[in-house]
Chains A and B, each alone.
Chain A
Amino acid sequence: AQRVTQPEKLLSVFKGAPVELKCNYSYSGSPELFWYVQYSRQRLQLLLRHISRESIKGFTADLNKGETSFHLKKPFAQEEDSAMYYCALHGSSNTGKLIFGQGTTLQVKP
């Protein structure tokens, strides 16, 4: 079964501290992993995807197939990073269906 697990509902850090949002997945094939972000009162938007290997807004994520993880990291958190973060998995080759984790709220305190 395809599943995405984000173990933390809430992650609270101080500005300037490192951030790691955890994401583990379950999928037997070759998955594509994504991180979506939802800022307050805004729509869900793509933050990054593993195949592009980009760094967006200072965030990076590495796909670790051995540990089936795709953790999101940022070395120095900013207050504007406060938002809800969703990890998502695309497994099916014929559709665009995404499987989302439960989401983690990141709270960056001043």
Chain B
Amino acid sequence: DSGVTQTPKHLITATGQRVTLRCSPRSGDLSVYWYQQSLDQGLQFLIQYYNGEERAKGNILERFSAQQFPDLHSELNLSSLELGDSALYFCASSAYSGRSDRGTDTQYFGPGTRLTVL
């Protein structure tokens, strides 16, 4: 078990609604990453937070937002949901912000939250 937890496991909601996905990183990890896995797009990087601050942004829609709290857990907020937002959302954590002399930190993934928009 990598120690990264995500809640809820499954989420079923309707178009136009708003949901919040939660991620708790491994103990001691300062970075949290969000990825979206869908059948047509594969595994895509959404956003990274490091010690409470946004560090990198990927293909994240304006309807989506995230934050990392002082206790280092993170939430991904998805609003005005569309059918195409149905996907598996993964959270990952790592010790530091990215690459160092030791190479890039290993990212440890959570089990994911499966979002179904009807």
Contacts and interface: CB of A to CB of B under 8 A. Distances in A.
Contact of B106 (A46, A95, A100): A46
Interface residues of B, number: 30
Q: Tell me the interface secondary structure of chain A in the complex.
A: loop
Q: Tell me the interface secondary structure of chain B in the complex.
A: strand
A45 B109 contact: yes
A30 B6 CA distance: 33
B90 A44 contact: yes
A94 interface: yes
Nearest to A46: B106
Contact of B48 (A32, A97, A100): A97
A66 B103 CA distance: 21
10 contacts: A32-B99, A43-B111, A45-B108, A46-B106, A46-B107, A93-B99, A94-B55, A96-B48, A97-B33, A99-B45
Interface of A: 32, 36, 43-46, 49, 51, 86, 90, 92-103
Interface of B: 2, 4, 31, 33, 35, 42-45, 48, 55-56, 58, 90, 92, 94, 96-99, 103-112
